[in-house]
Each structure stands twice: as C-alpha cells, then as structure tokens.
C-alpha cells in the first residue's frame, strides 16, 4: 500500500478495512501482550502486560492484538462493560514504540498511524461503558487510547503521569488525541497540553479534567466496577470551542513568536486541534494523519527522537565498572547563588543537606534564596505545601566547623578562587571520612590541581551544575585519571536521582560546555567590534534556534565572568582563540552586563531598553554560518581530544547546557548533517 493511498483513505471506509484480513492479520491466540477476563458481572477486563518488559507500548503487534480482543468483545453478548488497565507497576501505557518508529520507513509510519486510529476508533464505537483505569505513566498513545473511553480514572501513585509529549519529538498526537482531547476538556486546555507536551500528575490531571476520579491504586478496580453501573458521562458543551478559530489564531501567533517557526510540530498541532474540534471525528483523524505525514518528511523529528533516546540513556544508564552507593546526606560548602541552588535541588529530592558558609549572614541570605525558590515552585503548583516544608526541613546550616564524617558527599560551591578552594579542601580532608566524595562545582578551575591538596585523590570529582540550578537539566561530571570507578558510579547515579542529566567529561580547561561556548561568544564580540550591530548578531542566532543571542547571553552571565573564563581558555589554548580587547575595555569601564545596567544592551531596573538599530536580514545567514561553524568545530576538537566519551554526549550537553537547537540534534550532528566540517 503506498503512502498516498494511505493518508487519503476515506474515513467511512475505515471500518471495512479494519475487518479486511489482508490488512489486519489475525494475531495468534492467545494474545501475548494482553489478558482478557470476563467476570460474572459482564465486565471485560483487558489487562495490558507485555511479557519480559517493564513497559507497555503500542506497536503493530500490540495494536493488532488489542484490535482482536475488541473484536472478541464485540461478539461476546455476555460483555456489558470494558475496563482497560495495566499490570505494570509504574507504567500504564508509555505510548507508541518510538524506537521502532525512528527506524521505520515513512510509508510504514503512516500505516501504523492509520492502524492506531482505526483500532482506537473501534474502541470508541463499542456500545458499552468503557473505563480506563490509569496507574503509572500514561503518555502519548497511552493517553490517546483512554480518550476513546467513556471514563478515565487514575491512581494517586507518584508514577501516574498523564500527557501528550508528541510535539516535543517533532510530531503530534495522531491517534485521535488531537481530535478528541479538545472535545473533552475544551480547546484551550487541549492546546496547552499538546503544545507544551507537559506531563501532569494525577491530581493536576483531575483539575485539568483529563480524569474524573483519583483514588488509591488498590481501589481502582472497585471504582471501575461502580462506574459501570453509573450513567455514562456525556460530553459537556464547551462554549469556548465555538471560538476555536480565534483561539487557534492567537495560539499560533504566540507559538510562532516563541519558536520563530522553527518547531513546525507545534504550529501544526495548533492547526489540527482547532480544526478538528467540530464535526465528524473522522475529519479530525484525517487532519492528524496528513499532519504527521508532512512532519515526518523533515529530519527534525528523527533528530528530536534520537536526542530523546540519548537523554533517556544518560538519565538511566549506570556507569559500568563501579558500584554506585546511595547518598542520603550531603554537605554543600557555600551559600551563594550556586551553593543555595544546589542545596535546594538536593533537599527537594529527599537528601538531607548541611549548608555551610563563613557567616550567619551569608547563610541567612542563602536560606532566603532557597525559600524564594520553593515559594516560587509552590505558587506554580509544582509542589505541595508539605513538600515545601519537607524541603526546608532537610536543610540545616552551620558557620562553624562540625564533624562531617557521616556525610557521603561534600559539594564545594565557594567563590571561584583556587587559593580559597584549596584551603577548603585541605580543611575538609581533616573533617570528613576517608571515603567521603569531595566534589567541586567549579566552572573553570582545574579539578586535578584541587585533587592534589587532599589525601586519597581518587575520591575527588568535579560536579558542574549550571545556573539556575533548578532549571538547568545538565550536570557535567569531571573525572580525573585517578578518580575511582565507584566514586564515578556513585556520583552519576546521584545526579540521575536528582532528575538531572549527567555527562561525564575529562578535566580540561572549560570542561565541555564552556569550552565550546567561549570561542562562539568571543567571535560574536569580534563580529560586533567589526561593526555588526548587537541586535543583528543576536537575531541571527535566534533564527538559528538558540534560546538567547550571544550578546545577550554575555550580558546575563556578566562580562567580568565571561572575560575571566575566556582568559583561562586563551592561556590554555594560546594559538586558537580569537582575542579581543573589547570585553576587557568594557569591564574596565564598569560595564558588566545586566547586573550593572550596561553591557551590550542597556537595562533599567533589570529590564532592557529597546535599542533602535535597524536589522540587516541578508547578513544574518553569514553570521549564522560563521558562529554555528565555530561551535561545531570546537565540539569536534573536544571529541578528538576525548574530552567527552562520545559524540552523543557532546550533542546532549550542548542542547541541555546551552539550549543549542534540539531540532538540529547538537553541534556534531549538525556538522555531519550539513557537511560544514569533514566528519
């Protein structure tokens, strides 16, 4: 069956096709992935339980089996109701099998989309109450199948996460999700959920109207039984849906402003959702199919999916060759921006933290900063009142030396001064246990120089969090040749437990991310010096997909900090970095960026005063090529020098650490795809 035929298939013909043996092959009986039990009340319990796997996913095989079960139920007169549930502890249905999709030909992907739509449509047409009992992750296709049910109920377990993350992978919900969701929760909530791809916990899902009830996992089945006897809920009339065209128009404009049209999946999703809200379901399904067919023609989706897997792997894979020990208590030295940020993220993940600094006043400021962070998270409903209290309770402070021999990990986050850090490490060595891991959060200083100051240097490691700690997903782990495998394994698993993505790099000036970023920033300054306006440089890179232009980034970091890092790198690689005096000049004049109100931009009360420079569009492309090339070049050098373990890590680090456009896959993938450098 060719692609064209497939996507243009007439909706009315769907049901006929579904029963056509040439397309739906009868799966072997009994089904491998499902159990079907019909109890004496006439409730058919379909339990999704893929063998030898901890997850349930939709692929051709599971869809066909599920379809077959539906067929059995259709013909079984005993069956009065259907309940769909999962036997997995932490997963309901994780969605479509993306790994398989990534490697499929486009034709096959379109076929799979069609199959899913047909099967879920069959479910929706079943003339009986249908209940989805959700416990565990319910994402993408896993949620779309529940939208074809009458009731969705969820367990209050932590693992219950509901959402439609497809747009984050460059596609959109195409198994009826884009069509059915807006009819259930209204077009605005549907757009919010689909375009952001966010995952909601059970209570948030109930607030958003995605599920009707939230109960303890042990009570899910009982609730399902009682719902069977209740009247089926009819879809509420959504007044806002009458204005879907206007809402869609506004949402699309906002998305375009934000993404500059670089993420077509988002704008496409807005189009489909707003058009599919009225009329026949089949019309919506057709729109979904067409949109996906178009999206997968580009390479963006493939790159986003690759990146997703790289990140999943980095988030989960343990380090081989070492034993990871659990960490329950940690000390953070320094209560500044980084120290407080690190203490906050540790405490919010259940680790008891001792935060130290030289005075009570600096500790108090650090605590106030942490209170600000948790307060902010509370206002945005990311945490409960109890979680706020527990996080704060886990943080204790001291400005006098106390015994630390019970702490498994000490993270030093003091001011960036080698002398000071050496003093701290020497003092620490006397107070901690012999095997306490000593980590430093330096962003530029040499970890091996620090390691020399303590006995047992095999326990010294770099743990480079990025600012702001609670927002930045990347942590660079800097290893030395002498770092023990157990220490590395422990730290990697620790970072993973914090919900951050670890990337292991070698100790070298600037480590990985800053090393790649600095030449790019310096070149941007040089370009500016040569007469190109700040706005043009920033616009060019924004169009490339960077979340922030280089000049603005410099202002945010602080020009003094940037100049310092640049100098460190320039002295380490003397012949390579384009040198510029412009930064030093500005620093000497006291223009340090946003913090002083004057950098490359001017600020008043922390807000930028919009400059009135003209924008020179034709120039953008050459600026882009120039700067993007620099990033990729430096990334390739890091790869060759073995700073990172592999190209994937470099791509991942740049995307997560600097916001390098994910749809380009990362600097090395970009170099390979565009051929700008010999790969």
Partner 1 sequence: MWHSAPNTMKTPSLVIVAAARTPFSRAGTDLAHLDAVELGRHAVSALLTRTGIDPMLVDETILGCVGQPPEAMNIARVIALRAGLPESKPAMTVHRNCASGLEALTLAHAKMCAGQGEVFVVGGTESMSNMPFYFSRPAVEKFTAMSRARDFTGRAKAALHFRPADFAPVIGLKLGLTDPVSSLNMGQTAEVLSREFGITRDMQDAFAMRSHLCATQANHLLNQEIAPVLGRKVVATDNGVRADSSLEKLGKLKALFDTVVGTVTAGNSSQITDGAVALLVATEEAAAAHNWKPLGRLVSYAATGCDPARMGLGPVRALDAALHRSGWKLDDADVFEINEAFAAQVLAVMKCLTDPSSARRAGLEAPLGEFDPAKINACGGAIALGHPVGATGARLVQTALNQLHANDGKRAVISLCVGGGQGMAACLEAL
Per CB under 8 A, residues contacting partner 1 are 352, 354, 360-361, 363-364, 367-368, 389, 393-394, 396-398, 402-406
Listing DSSP states for 298-333 in one string gives SSHHHHHHHHHHHHHHHHHPPPTTS-PPP--EEEEE
Strand partners, 353: 330, 395
Would you report the helix, strand and coil content of the chain in percent, each value rounded to 5?
Answer: 50, 15, 35
Q: How far apart are CA 524 and CA 518, in angstroms?
A: 10
The answer to whether 645 and 504 are in contact (CB under 8 A) is: yes
- For residues 184 and 237, the answer to whether their CB atoms sit within 8 Å is no
Q: What one-character DSSP code corresponds to residue 471?
A: T
Cβ contact 603:597 at 8 Å: yes
Task: Please name which of 92, 247, 263 lies closest in space to residue 166, comparing C-alpha atoms.
Answer: 263
Provide CB contacts within 8 A for 17, sequence distance 6+.
Answer: 9, 23, 118
Peptide bond into 217 cis (omega under 30): no
Judge whether 614 counts as a catalytic residue.
Answer: no
SS (H, E, C) 141-175: HHHHHHHCCCEEEEECCCCCEEECHHHHHCCCCCC
Q: Which of 68, 407, 464, 620 is catalytic?
A: 464
Q: Report the residue number, 212 or 396, with the smaller CB distance to partner 1.
A: 396
Q: Which is nearer to partner 1, 244 or 331 (CB)?
A: 331
CB of 401 vs partner 1, minimal distance in Å: 10
Shortest reach from residue 354's CB to partner 1, in Å: 6
Q: In this complex, which beta carbon is closest to partner 1, that of residue 405 or of residue 613?
A: 405
Short-list 421, 165, 413, 423, CA closest to 312: 165
Nearer to partner 1, 304 or 351 (CB): 351
Closest contact distance (angstroms) between CB of 373 and partner 1 is: 16
Task: List the structure tokens of 637.
Answer: 């050098």
Give the whole-angstrom CA distance, residue 120 versus residue 149.
Answer: 9
CA distance 652 to 659: 10
Residue 463 CB, nearest approach to partner 1 (Å): 22
C-beta of 398 vs 415, nearer to partner 1 = 398
Nearest distance in Å: CB 352, partner 1: 6
Q: State the nearest-atom distance from the C-beta of 436 to partner 1, in Å.
A: 12
Q: Which residue number, 145 or 354, has a Cβ lying nearer to partner 1? A: 354
Would you say 41 or 393 has its CB closer to partner 1?
393
Compute the least distance from the CB of residue 403 to partner 1, in Å: 3
Could you give the CA distance from residue 475 to residue 224 in angstroms, rounded to a whole number?
Answer: 43
| CA dist., res. 177 & res. 200, Å (int) | 16
Active site residues: 464
């Amino acid at each position: 069956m060719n692609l064209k035929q497939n996507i243009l298939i007439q909706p009315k013909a769907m049901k006929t096709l579904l029963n056509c043996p040439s397309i739906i092959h009868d799966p072997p009986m009994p089904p491998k992935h499902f159990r079907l039990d019909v109890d004496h009340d006439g409730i058919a319990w379909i339990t999704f339980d893929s063998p030898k796997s901890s997850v349930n996913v939709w692929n051709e095989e599971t869809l066909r089996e599920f379809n077959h079960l539906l067929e059995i139920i259709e013909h079984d007169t005993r069956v009065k109701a259907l309940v769909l549930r999962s036997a997995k502890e932490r997963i309901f249905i994780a969605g479509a099998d993306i790994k398989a999709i990534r490697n499929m030909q486009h034709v096959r992907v379109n076929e799979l989309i069609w199959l899913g739509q047909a099967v879920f449509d069959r479910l929706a047409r079943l003339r009986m109450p249908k209940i989805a009992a959700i416990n565990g992750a319910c994402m993408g296709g896993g949620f779309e199948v529940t939208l074809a049910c009458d009731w969705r109920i969820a367990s209050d377990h932590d693992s219950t996460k509901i959402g439609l993350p497809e747009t984050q992978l460059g596609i959109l919900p195409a198994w009826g999700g884009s069509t059915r969701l807006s009819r259930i929760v209204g077009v605005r909530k549907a757009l919010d959920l689909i375009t952001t791809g966010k995952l909601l916990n059970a209570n948030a899902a109930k607030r958003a109207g995605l599920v009707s009830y939230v109960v303890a996992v042990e009570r899910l089945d009982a609730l399902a039984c009682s719902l069977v006897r209740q009247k089926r809920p009819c879809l509420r009339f959504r007044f806002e849906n009458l204005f879907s065209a206007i809402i869609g128009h506004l949402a699309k404009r906002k998305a375009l402003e934000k993404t500059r049209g670089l993420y077509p999946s988002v704008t496409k999703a807005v189009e489909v959702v707003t058009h599919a809200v009225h009329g026949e379901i089949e019309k919506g399904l057709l729109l979904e199919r067409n949109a996906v067919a178009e999206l997968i023609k580009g390479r963006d989706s493939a790159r986003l999916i690759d990146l997703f897997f790289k990140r999943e792997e980095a988030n989960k894979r343990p380090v081989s060759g070492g034993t990871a020990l659990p960490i329950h208590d940690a000390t953070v030295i320094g209560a500044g921006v980084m120290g407080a940020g690190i203490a906050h993220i540790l405490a919010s993940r259940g680790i008891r933290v001792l935060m130290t600094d030289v005075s009570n006043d600096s500790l108090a400021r650090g605590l106030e900063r942490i209170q600000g962070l948790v307060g902010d998270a509370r206002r945005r409903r990311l945490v409960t009142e109890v979680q706020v209290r527990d996080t704060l309770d886990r943080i204790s402070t001291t400005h006098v030396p106390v015994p630390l021999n019970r702490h498994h990990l000490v993270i030093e986050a003091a001011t960036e001064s080698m002398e000071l850090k050496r003093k701290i490490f020497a003092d620490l060595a006397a107070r901690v246990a012999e095997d306490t891991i000593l980590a430093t959060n330096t962003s530029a200083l040499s970890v091996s120089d620090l390691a020399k100051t303590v006995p047992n240097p095999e326990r010294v490691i770099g743990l480079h969090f990025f600012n702001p700690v609670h927002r930045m997903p990347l942590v660079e782990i800097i290893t030395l040749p002498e770092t023990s495998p157990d220490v590395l394994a422990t730290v990697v698993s620790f970072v993973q437990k914090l919900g951050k993505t670890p990337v292991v790099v070698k100790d070298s000036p600037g480590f990985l991310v800053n090393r790649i970023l600095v030449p790019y920033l310096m070149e941007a300054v040089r370009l500016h010096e040569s007469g190109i306006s700040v706005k043009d440089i920033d616009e060019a890179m924004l169009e490339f997909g960077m979340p922030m232009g280089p000049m603005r980034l410099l202002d945010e970091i602080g020009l003094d900090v940037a100049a310092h890092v640049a100098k460190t790198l320039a002295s380490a690689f003397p012949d390579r970095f384009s040198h510029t005096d412009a930064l030093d000049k500005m620093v000497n004049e006291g223009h340090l960026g946003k913090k002083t109100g004057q950098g490359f931009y001017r600020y008043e009360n922390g807000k930028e005063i919009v400059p009135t420079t003209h924008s020179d569009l034709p120039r953008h492309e050459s600026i882009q090529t120039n700067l993007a090339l620099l990033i990729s070049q430096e990334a390739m050098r890091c790869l060759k020098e073995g700073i990172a373990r592999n190209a994937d890590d470099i791509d991942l680090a740049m995307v997560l650490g600097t916001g390098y456009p994910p749809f380009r896959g990362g600097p090395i993938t970009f170099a390979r795809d565009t051929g700008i450098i010999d790969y």
